[in-house]
C-alpha cells in the first residue's frame, strides 16, 4: 500500500489560510468546511505544520462524537485536567491557553471536527477567538449540526469560512502519478476520478483496495487498471460508519433513489414506506408533484422542482455524506433491482 499521499491541489487554500492567520482582527484564523473525506483534517494539519516551520507554537485538538458529553474533553490534551465547576473550568482553560500564547509569542490551535465539540469546549474556542487570545484553524463537516458557539465564528464574521472542494480530474491524475510513483494510463486515471468524485478519501480507499486485489498493476512501466472495482473492506467500513444507522426502510428508499433518481414523490412513496420517505426527507416530501433526490451533505432527501439529468445507467451508487460512490453494476438477468449493500 502506498504510504505516501503528498498534498495536491491545495496551494491556494494554504495561501488563504496563511493570510487569515496573519490578520489580527476581528479574529485570527479560519474555518475549513467540506464534505466527509474531502481533506479538511489534512489541510488543517498542513497549515499548522507550515505555521510551526515559521516558528509559531501549535496545538492540536480533535473533537469526537463519543467525547461530546464530557465537559472540555476535546481540550484536555492541551489544557491538562482541570478541576472545578464549569465556569471555573472555562476560565482556567482560557487563561492557561492565553498564557501559553503569550509565553510562546503566539499560538495556533487546530480544532478538528468542531461540530462534535462539547458545549464548554465550543465556548472556550469562541472566547479564544473573540479575545484574539490564539489563532485557530477549525474544521467542520458540511451539513452536520454544530454548537451555536462554533457556527457563530463565521456567522458573526469573526473568522472566514473556506468551503473545500473535491480534487479536479487533473489534480486526481497528478496525485495518482505521485502515489503510484509511475505513469498511470489516462483512461484509468479518469475512471478513478469519476468513481471517487475527486474525494481524496474515497480515492485512497479505492486505490488501496484495487492494489491489494491485484487489479491495479504495472505492465511495461505503465500502471493499468483491469476489471471491475469492488468495495474493499475498508470502504465498506467507511460506508457503514456513514449510513449504517439508517433503518431498513430508509435504505430501501435510498436504493430506489440511487438506482434512478430523481423520482416523483408519489412513485417513491408508492414503492416504499411513505413514513421512511418522510423521515429521510422531511415535510417537503409530502408534496406529491415534486421530485426527490438524495442530498448527501445533509444526509436527507431533498426535493427538486423538475427532473435533472440522470446519472449514467449501469452504475451502482452508494450515497453518504461525502457524496455518491459509483461503481459499475449490471442488474440481475431477472430484472430485480435489489442492491447489494456492501456489508450484507
Ligand atoms: N489534497 C490532498 N492531496 C492528497 N491527499 C489528500 C488530500 N486531501 C486529503 N488527502 C488524504 O485523503 C484522506 C482523507 O482526508 P481527511 O482525513 O483530511 O478528510 P476529512 O475531510 O478530514 O474527512 P472527515 O470528514 O471524515 O474528517 C487522508 O488520507 C488524507 O491524507
Ligand atoms: Mg477529518
Indicate if ligand 1 lies below 6 Å from the C-beta of 39: yes
- Nearest ligand to the CA of 141 is 1
Ligand 1 contact via 153 beta carbon (within 6 Å): no
Q: Are 183 and 221 in contact (CB under 8 A)?
A: yes
- The rounded Å distance from CA 265 to ligand 1 centre is 36
Residue 217's pLDDT band (cuts 50, 70, 90) = very high
Question: Which amino acid residue places its CA nearest to atom 9 of ligand 1?
Answer: 39
CB distance 125 to 117 below 8 Å: yes
Q: Give 36 Cα–ligand 1 centroid separation in angstroms.
A: 9
Residue to mutate (ligand 1; options 165, 201, 239, 325; most atoms within 8 A of CB): 201
Q: Is the CB of 38 under 6 A from ligand 1?
A: yes
Residue 7: nearest ligand to its CA? 1
Q: With pLDDT > 90 as the criterion, what percentage of the chain qualifies? A: 44
Q: How far is the CA of 199 from the centre of ligand 1 (A)?
A: 8
Beta-carbon neighbours within 5 Å of ion ligand 2: 41
- Lowest-confidence pick of 208-212, 219-223, 234-238, 321-325: 321-325
Statement: residue 260 has pLDDT above 90: no
pLDDT at 310 over 50: no
Q: pTM for the whole thing?
A: 0.80
Spacing, Cα 40 to ligand 1 middle (Å) = 6
**What pLDDT, in 10s, does the model give residues 264-277?**
777 788 888 888 88
**14 within 8 A of 137, measured Cβ to Cβ:** no
Task: Determine the pLDDT at residue 289.
Answer: 52
Taking the CA of 164 as reference, the closest ligand is 1
Q: Among the atoms of ligand 1, which is closest to the Cα of residue 45? A: 18
How many angstroms does the Cα of residue 31 sit away from the middle of ligand 2? 13
Cβ–ligand 1 distance for 116 under 6 Å, the answer no
Q: Ligand 2 center to residue 39 CA distance, Å?
A: 7
pLDDT band at residue 339 using 50, 70 and 90 as cut-offs: very low
Q: What cell numbers appear for 95 in the block?
A: 487563561
Q: How far is the CA of 38 from the centre of ligand 2 (A)?
A: 8
Highest mean pLDDT among 73-77, 138-142, 232-236, 284-288: 138-142
Which ligand has an atom closest to residue 39 CA? 1
C-beta of residue 36 within 8 angstroms of C-beta of residue 322: yes
Q: Convert the pLDDT of each residue in 186-201 to its tens digit.
A: 999 999 998 888 999 9
Segment 316-338 mean pLDDT = 45
User: How many CB atoms sit inside 10 A of residue 271's CB?
Assistant: 15
| Arithmetic mean of pLDDT, 1-12 | 87
Return the top range by mean pLDDT from 53-62, 97-106, 257-266, 321-330.
53-62
Q: Does ligand 1 come within 6 angstroms of the Cβ of 7?
A: yes
Q: To the nearest 10°, the Cα dihedral for 123, 129, 132, 138? A: 130
Higher-confidence residue of 214 and 241: namely: 214
**Cell numbers given for 241:** 460508519
36 CA distance to ligand 2 centroid (A)?
7
Residue 142 burial (CB count, 10 A): 18
The Cα–Cα gap between 189 and 177 comes to: 9
**Within a 10 A sphere around the Cβ of 27, how many other Cβ atoms?**
26
Residue range 8-67, pLDDT digits in tens = 999 999 999 999 999 888 889 999 999 889 999 999 999 999 999 999 999 999 999 888
127 lines ligand 1 (CB under 6 A): no
Which of 79-93, 128-142, 151-165, 183-197 is predicted least confidently? 79-93
The angle at the Cα of 53, spanning 49 to 59, to the nearest 5 degrees, equals 45
Average pLDDT for the chain: 82
Averaged pLDDT for residues 132-141? 95
Q: Which three cell numbers stand for residue 283?
A: 415535510
**Which has more pLDDT, 298 or 272?**
272
For range 298-321, the mean pLDDT? 48
- What pLDDT score does 234 carry? 80
Amino acid at each position: 500500500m502506498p504510504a505516501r499521499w503528498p498534498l495536491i491541489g491545495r496551494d491556494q487554500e494554504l495561501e488563504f489560510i496563511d493570510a487569515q492567520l496573519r490578520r489580527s482582527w476581528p479574529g485570527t484564523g479560519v474555518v475549513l468546511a467540506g464534505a466527509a473525506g474531502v481533506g479538511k483534517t489534512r489541510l488543517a494539519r498542513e497549515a499548522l505544520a507550515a505555521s510551526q516551520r515559521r516558528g509559531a507554537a501549535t496545538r492540536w485538538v480533535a473533537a469526537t462524537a463519543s467525547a461530546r458529553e464530557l465537559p472540555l474533553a476535546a481540550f484536555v490534551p492541551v489544557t491538562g485536567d482541570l478541576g472545578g465547576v464549569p465556569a471555573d473550568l472555562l476560565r482556567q482553560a482560557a487563561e492557561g491557553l492565553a498564557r501559553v500564547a503569550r509565553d510562546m509569542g503566539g499560538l495556533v490551535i487546530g480544532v478538528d471536527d468542531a461540530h462534535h465539540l462539547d458545549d464548554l469546549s465550543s465556548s472556550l474556542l469562541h472566547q479564544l477567538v473573540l479575545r484574539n487570545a490564539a489563532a485557530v484553524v477549525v474544521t467542520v463537516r458540511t451539513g452536520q449540526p454544530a454548537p451555536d458557539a462554533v457556527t457563530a465564528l463565521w456567522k458573526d464574521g469573526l473568522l472566514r469560512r473556506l468551503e473545500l472542494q473535491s480534487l479536479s480530474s487533473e489534480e486526481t491524475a497528478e496525485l495518482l502519478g505521485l502515489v503510484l510513483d509511475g505513469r498511470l494510463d489516462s483512461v484509468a486515471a479518469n475512471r478513478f476520478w469519476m468513481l471517487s468524485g475527486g474525494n481524496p478519501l474515497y480515492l485512497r480507499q479505492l486505490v488501496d483496495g484495487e492494489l491489494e486485489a491485484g487489479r491495479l498493476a504495472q505492465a511495461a512501466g505503465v500502471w493499468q487498471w483491469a476489471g471491475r472495482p469492488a468495495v474493499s473492506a475498508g470502504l465498506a467500513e467507511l460506508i457503514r460508519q456513514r449510513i449504517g444507522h439508517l433503518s431498513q426502510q430508509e435504505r430501501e428508499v435510498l436504493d430506489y433513489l440511487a438506482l434512478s433518481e430523481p423520482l416523483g414523490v408519489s412513485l417513491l412513496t408508492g414503492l416504499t414506506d411513505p413514513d421512511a420517505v418522510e423521515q429521510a426527507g422531511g415535510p417537503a416530501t409530502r408534496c406529491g408533484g415534486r421530485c426527490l433526490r438524495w442530498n448527501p451533505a445533509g444526509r436527507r432527501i431533498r426535493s427538486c422542482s423538475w427532473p435533472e439529468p440522470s446519472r449514467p445507467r449501469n452504475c451502482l451508487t452508494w450515497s453518504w455524506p461525502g457524496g455518491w460512490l459509483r461503481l459499475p453494476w449490471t442488474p440481475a438477468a431477472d430484472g430485480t433491482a435489489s442492491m447489494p449493500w456492501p456489508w450484507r
